[in-house]
Structure 1
Amino acid sequence: MASKYSMNDRPSWPRRAIVTAGEPYGNKGLHFGHVGGVFVPADFFARFLRDRLGRENVIFTSGTDCYGSPIMESYRKLKENEGYDKSIGEYVESNHSRQAATLNNYNISCDIYGGSGLEPAAQIHNEVTAEIIERLHEQGTISKRSTLQFHDAKAGTFLNGRQVIGRCPIQGCKSEKAYADECDLGHQFEPEELIAPKSQLTGEVPELRPVDNLYFDLPAYLDFMKTYTAKLAQNPQVRSVVSKTMEEWLLPAQLYIQNKFREAFDAVEDQLPEHTVLEPEGNKSSFTVTFPSWKERDDAHAVLANGGVRFRSGKALVPFRITGNIDWGVPVPEVDGVTDVTCWCWPESLWAPISYTRTVLARDAKAAGVTEGVAAQDAALMGEPAADSTQVPAPTYQHSSLDWRDWWCSDDAQIYQFIGQDNIYFYCIAQTAMWEALGWDLTQSTVSACYHLLYMGKKASSSSQTPPPPADDLLNHYTCEQMRAHWLSLGLSEKPVSFSPKAYDTRVTGKDKNGNEVRACDDKRVIDPALKESALLTGVFNRLARSCFYGVAVKEGDESPYRNGCIPAGTASATVVEAAQQAVLAFEQAMYKFETHRALAVCDDYLRAANKRWSDASKAANKLEGEPANAAMTQALVDAFTELRVATVLMHGIVPAGCELICEYFDFDPVAFFSWDNIFASTDEFVESLGEKPGEHRVKPLPPRFDFFSKHESQY
């Protein structure tokens, strides 16, 4: 908190907010990257906004992505290799239930953790999908295209997505895997561009056959996207990685050809559509061919292939596929004569948060007995989740509007989406253009794109030699609060960071007295990086809270006036008031920029300074006698309670369980206690606002040796 913050420089916030966390596929549980890299930051932000804007003005959505080839392929392998005998719907439901249980274990407070193919959201999502596709067709922005799709002749079936594996054709891509029309870094390409394709079903090289699908005319929005991206680059809330990644996709349609194919290229160049050639500079091993649009570039593919010229494509906007020919997907209405198709999982996952929002509001409408409007109509569509399915608990209160457009199409609302940076293309390019094309005045999202949360210094991958631990396994060694604080401290907004919990570190770090190898996980000399923030919770924060509550506790034989079980009345010292204000303003600025690590650092500095002030003031008071001692200790407690209240509000989104426990012992209404409407009020003013007299609010007696934040049992 080196900078001096002013009340005049506070950021502006919307009246209402949607917060979303990227949807995990429904073919597995959640590993730590899902939870620590996306869900915990999103939950921190959602909890902050509930305190800042009012809980009724925030909807936090996410859910299981139920469809797509990764799920179908995992299900196929499970059936063939392990004799799984349940339906694909039951398979997804079971994984959704596991995911929801994990989120509950980490105190992730979604208003809904739904499923695109699961009740209560499934039928509403089907309705939203139909509405959006029909609207895009009305707007003239989706149409039928005949393209090539991989077909496995040996298996006698078309192949989708993950059923084909090869190498990415996009120039400079470092992806380890590429599939039918995208790689695992999100690059999009035509199936015929995939390098060295192989069927995952039979291992054969598949052939390409024509199919009809619906495509969104993404290239038509190139100029809009350029203007929008330039504006985004000036937005202090949006990290530069977002606009820079978007800019890469807004380049001209280009092909890169190695110099060794120059002679073959020259032989067929006159057969190519309109183009220009950029000669290689210096020692570059390839030259560049630029086309007016993706159409000319695609037409050039066959000419070059027939001429024996190998090439790689540059990033550029191409038509965005909306449908596919797989059975397991969201049904799609007939458009342009295209029938018997389902929605591709990526586009429908982009509007799934709208479906989830409408499900939340339908739930509200049903509870309130509302019978008219879209929310009531959606309530009639809403089904019940499976009886044995684990759910993230629904909120017990009503939201401020039942009209989904007040959340998604209003000038005083904002959409905050937490994603991994690999998905910037989908959320920031494809979604942005589609929202514009719909003509519904949909609010464009403010995206927080995190870098990779690495594992032991490497990208976390379930298929690697050292797969990341499931998120639930971590709770065998660490508490939920320890993990939340650690992940939020890592600064994923700025760079990839390694998560290296000592409990899983198998490096050999020495030998014992018998000459046996000792691994890091068992080596007492090795400090656990994952516990770096734990001391703030179990030491500093605990100590300040205990000092306050024990300090006013009635104590037999001690007639001190402040030992009456009540928060003492009085004005906090100027130093304490200034420190609290600066902490609040610095924290708010950090949250505005999604800098969760800086927000936590503000809390760390503030709590440590508050503890120091309490320690110094209480020691000084104990050196006095009589009335001066009582007055000094009363002032020390007034200051300490002021700082504890502010710190607890700021830390609420980071470690909610412990902070809500502190609130319980304050014995205040939690909605009022955590509301930022009261954060600059003095304790006396806050008590008066609740209809009580300062100095007479009684706190809940704290048991001896009580901890608001505990270590994991394995750490003792």
Structure 2
Amino acid sequence: MSQSDTNSERLLVTSALPYANGPLHIGHIAGAYLPADIFCRYQRMCGKQVAFICGSDEHGVPILIRSRNEGITPQEVVDRFHFQNEESFARLGMSFDFYGRTSSPVHHETSREFFRELAAKDAFVLKNQEQLYDPEAGIFLADRFVKGTCPKCGYEEAYGDQCENCGKSLSPEELVNPRSALTDAAPVMKETTHWYLPLGKMQPALEKWLGEHKDWKPNVLGQVGSWLQDGLNDRAVTRDLPWGVAVPQDIAENAGVDATGKVLYVWFDAPIGYISATREWAEREGLDWQDWWKSDDSRLIHFIGKDNIVFHCLIFPAMLMAHGGYVLPENVPGNEFLNLKGRKLSKSRGGAIWVHEALEVFPADYLRYSLASVFPETRDTDFAWEDFQAHVNSELADTLGNFVNRTISFADKYFEGKVPALAKPSADDLATLAALEGLPERIGGLLEGYRMREALHEAMGLARMANKYINDSEPWKTRKSDLVACGNTIHVSLQICAAL
């Protein structure tokens, strides 16, 4: 955490909790993690108090499916991928202040406290409904326990919570020809009882709040607007599953419900993971976590991919509103998808470039730079190894590296490693120095506006201009014919190096 005596404003930045059912791929990094890391590093340079929070999302159906397929416990699955992903983040240079996990006792306690508070305020609706049930496995088919045909695009391998082909959010009952992902059996309908968050009732409050944030990214507002236009429905916040945060027994008993096998829906407990991780971090640092979540001088910013927009812009804010006392997100800079030559990167389908494998071959800065060059900030973008090669060789090495190396070498060899004085500068010298004026403010403005890729391009534009300047000035010639002019060139070039 960075602190400034003159700036009491707190900046709480989160990146979407990666699912601990597999390794990280480069699409994850380009969507929610590297943009947030760049943003936080800049804010710390500006003297802001920053808490950069992330962690593993360790509940939900995909983890259960993997544990069943591999014949191991869900805890063994999340332990494996939590530590692998945490190491990948560290090797990639992610500057998290805390990286937690939702299987921790603190998280379970925090989630149940949150659920109890909402129940105490009558924020839930209790419903008896028939849901899909696998008669062979003896389990309700929540979310990804069921597959079928997407009613929107016809994709035959859509999940019960989302179609990975068209991106539509689904419920299991919407699938055409559903089947169990566990046994391939045709499901039957069976009655069960669950708690729901009445989003429709809360829609006016959400619309009022969102109306105060018309400066958010168009892709974010567009997706949220579509959901609001269709009208929000009650959203289940519990599931019948053998893995997750157990529904508080006292709340179930008061409602006359058998809590056996009932857990909090992963998309109820996962965003609470931001709160529980902040609690653990604050305890470690000797701070009060509530200063970050319940203070008017705290700004909350969520970095996510577009598949998480609805949860962070509607469902989690609704939860915070229903609870009361929490700050709401100031911004949710959601990015689109990074594809691999037009194909979607997918953990579940296994088609991806895995971060831990890429880091075995390439330095982290190569990956960071190339991914930042193609951030999918406003639309889906593509990653290609040919582009990666060009980013590293043509831009990092030939443009930036070559300029800096030539400048430093000249200063060290011919000016005793010192910055030469600027004496009788030429028009080109002055014009080049003038180009530096306002550059930090321009790049800072882009970073503040979550336009990371444009900020990088602005910086590399300066490097290209610098190369042209030093080539046109030819200090290797003026070193012999006009040492003052040579010194001016190196002076200006060192100023550019400092700016870069």
Q: How does the TM-score come out when normalised to structure 2? A: 0.88
2:4 paired residue number: none
| Aligned 1:356-435 pairs, distance under 5 A | 356-365=277-286, 402-435=287-320
C-alpha change, 1:619 and 1:588, in structure 2 (3 Å) is same
Distance 1:620 1:193 in 2: 71
Deviation, structure 1 residue 583? 2.2
Q: Is the 8 A contact 1:66 1:92 kept in 2?
A: yes
Q: Deviations over 1:116-145 (max 9, x none)?
A: 11xxxx122122212211222233212422
1:132 paired residue number: 114
2:228 paired residue number: 250
Deviation, structure 1 residue 446? 0.9
1:496 paired residue number: 380
Describe the SS at the equivalent of 1:454.
strand
Do residues 332 (structure 1) and 326 (structure 2) align? no
Do residues 157 (structure 1) and 139 (structure 2) align? yes
2:203 paired residue number: 222
1:240 paired residue number: 218
Distance 1:192 1:617 in 2: 70
C-alpha change, 1:635 and 1:248, in structure 2 (3 Å) is same
Q: 2:51 aligns with which of 56, 59, 67?
A: 59
Q: Is the 8 A contact 2:479 2:486 kept in 1?
A: no
Q: Deviations over 1:521-541 (max 9, x none)?
A: xxxxxxx22223222211222
2:129 paired residue number: 147
Deviation, structure 1 residue 72? 0.2
Distance 2:231 2:281 in 1: 37
Q: Deviations over 1:427-470 (max 9, x none)?
A: 11111222222211413241111111111211123455x82222
Q: 1:179 aligns with which of 154, 159, 170?
A: 159
Q: Is the 8 A contact 1:73 1:163 kept in 2?
A: yes
1:531 paired residue number: 389
Q: Deviations over 1:393-417 (max 9, x none)?
A: xxxxxxxxx2223322333332222
Distance 1:496 1:42 in 2: 18
C-alpha change, 1:89 and 1:491, in structure 2 (3 Å) is closer
C-alpha change, 1:409 and 1:463, in structure 2 (3 Å) is closer
Q: 1:200 aligns with which of 170, 181, 185?
A: 181
Deviation, structure 1 residue 577? 4.2
2:272 paired residue number: 351
Q: Is the 8 A contact 1:570 1:635 kept in 2?
A: yes
Q: Deviations over 1:601-651 (max 9, x none)?
A: 1011111212333344452872665xxx4433333333222211110xxxx
1:111 paired residue number: 97
Q: 2:341 aligns with which of 444, 451, 456?
A: 456
| Aligned 1:468-617 pairs, distance under 5 A | 468-475=352-359, 478-501=362-385, 528-534=386-392, 535-553=394-412, 555=413, 562-563=415-416, 565-568=417-420, 574-617=430-473
1:296 paired residue number: none
Distance 1:152 1:443 in 2: 39
Q: 1:636 aligns with which of 483, 489, 493?
A: 489
Deviation, structure 1 residue 569? 5.8
Q: How does the TM-score come out when normalised to structure 1? A: 0.63
- Which structure would you say has the larger Rg? 1
Distance 2:496 2:171 in 1: 59
Q: Deviations over 1:456-507 (max 9, x none)?
A: 211123455x822222333455432222222111241121112122xxxxxx
In structure 2, give the amino acid aligned to 1:247: G
Deviation, structure 1 residue 194? 3.2
In structure 2, give the amino acid aligned to 1:452: F
2:20 paired residue number: 26
Describe the SS at the equivalent of 2:332.
strand
Distance 1:531 1:24 in 2: 28
Q: Is the 8 A contact 2:23 2:347 kept in 1?
A: no
C-alpha change, 1:415 and 1:186, in structure 2 (3 Å) is farther
C-alpha change, 1:551 and 1:155, in structure 2 (3 Å) is same
Distance 2:24 2:170 in 1: 29
Which consecutive unaligned segments of at least 5 residues does structure 2 have? 1-6
C-alpha change, 1:163 and 1:89, in structure 2 (3 Å) is same
C-alpha change, 1:357 and 1:332, in structure 2 (3 Å) is same
Describe the SS at the equivalent of 1:432.
helix
Describe the SS at the equivalent of 1:320.
strand
1:655 paired residue number: none
C-alpha change, 1:363 and 1:176, in structure 2 (3 Å) is farther
| Aligned 1:82-121 pairs, distance under 5 A | 86-117=72-103
Deviation, structure 1 residue 574? 4.6
Distance 2:489 2:375 in 1: 35
| Aligned 1:264-343 pairs, distance under 5 A | 315-333=230-248, 334-335=250-251, 336-338=255-257, 339-340=259-260, 341-343=262-264
In structure 1, give the amino acid aligned to 2:268: P
2:10 paired residue number: 16
Deviation, structure 1 residue 243? 0.9
Do residues 73 (structure 1) and 53 (structure 2) align? no
Which consecutive unaligned segments of at least 5 residues does structure 1 have? 1-12, 80-85, 252-314, 366-401, 502-527, 648-716
C-alpha change, 1:405 and 1:618, in structure 2 (3 Å) is farther
C-alpha change, 1:452 and 1:181, in structure 2 (3 Å) is closer
Distance 1:612 1:488 in 2: 24
Q: Deviations over 1:521-580 (max 9, x none)?
A: xxxxxxx22223222211222223223432332x5xxxx6x32x3344669965344322
1:525 paired residue number: none
Number of aligned residue pairs: give it.
482
Q: Deviations over 1:151-190 (max 9, x none)?
A: 2222333333222112344xx4576644345544665555
Q: Deviations over 1:10-30 (max 9, x none)?
A: xxx993212222222111111
Deviation, structure 1 residue 586? 2.1
C-alpha change, 1:570 and 1:413, in structure 2 (3 Å) is farther
Q: Is the 8 A contact 2:475 2:489 kept in 1?
A: no
Q: 2:351 aligns with which of 467, 488, 491?
A: 467
Deviation, structure 1 residue 77? 0.7
C-alpha change, 1:76 and 1:138, in structure 2 (3 Å) is same
2:33 paired residue number: 39
Distance 2:58 2:400 in 1: 41
In structure 1, give the amino acid aligned to 2:363: T
Distance 1:216 1:467 in 2: 35
Describe the SS at the equivalent of 2:446.
helix
In structure 1, give the amino acid aligned to 2:21: N
